[in-house]
Structure 1
Amino acid sequence: MNSKEFTGELSRRLGYTNKDAAVLVASLVDIMAQELQESNVLTFQEFGTFEVKKKMERIVVNPVTRQRLLVPPKLSLTFKPCPALKGKVKNEDAQ
């Protein structure tokens, strides 16, 4: 499902116009991005948790040249689905 299909389905279920649903989705994404930039954890019941984690710097070795490289620290966005969502996906897969 792409963004256009998602906003279409959202507008159909909520009784909004496609334009209103697109504004709603864009606002949701903006709010989520702002909260994640502030390193806040976003938890949605029956869905899961979004969190920004900091990966520490580390040393890696190129297997061909055996050259050691320093990988700088970086921020990484993680998502952990809740057990209810995992169960729904597993039940769909079994059918």
Structure 2
Amino acid sequence: MNHKELTNSIAAKLDMPKAEVEKLLGDTVSIFVEHLSAGTTIGLQGFGNMEVKKKEERISVHPATQVRTLVPPKLVVSFKQSNILKDKLKELPHE
């Protein structure tokens, strides 16, 4: 699902104009970015938790050339799904 499809789905479900949903979604994303940048964990009940974690520096080896390079430390967003979401995913058919 992309941004446009999400906007259309929310607008249809809430019977709101797409312009209002677009603003709401944009504001929500900016709030997420603001809080994650400040190091705050974001928890959405029934969905999961998002938090910023630090990945330590490491040595990477290119498989074809065997050249080793140092990958610097970086911050990444980590997502842990809720038990409700996990259970819903277990119910899906496996292909």
**TM-score bucket (shorter structure):** 0.7 to 0.9
- Which runs of 5 or more structure 2 residues have no equivalent in the other structure? none
Between the aligned partners of 2:60 and 2:67, the Cα distance in structure 1 is: 8
Displacement after TM superposition at 1:68 (Å):
3.5
Between the aligned partners of 1:89 and 1:80, the Cα distance in structure 2 is: 14
Deviations 1:2-38, CA, capped at 9 Å, x for gaps? 2111111101111210110111111100000110111
- Which runs of 5 or more structure 1 residues have no equivalent in the other structure? none
| Percent of paired sites with the same residue | 39
What SS does the aligned partner of 2:93 have? helix
TM-score of the superposition, structure 1-length normalised? Answer: 0.86
Deviations 1:27-77, CA, capped at 9 Å, x for gaps? 100000110111111011100010110011123344555444322110111
Displacement after TM superposition at 1:92 (Å):
2.4
After superposition, the CA RMSD in angstroms is: 1.6
Between 1:71-80 and 1:56-65, the stretch displaced more is 56-65
TM-score of the superposition, structure 2-length normalised? Answer: 0.86
Between the aligned partners of 1:69 and 1:91, the Cα distance in structure 2 is: 43
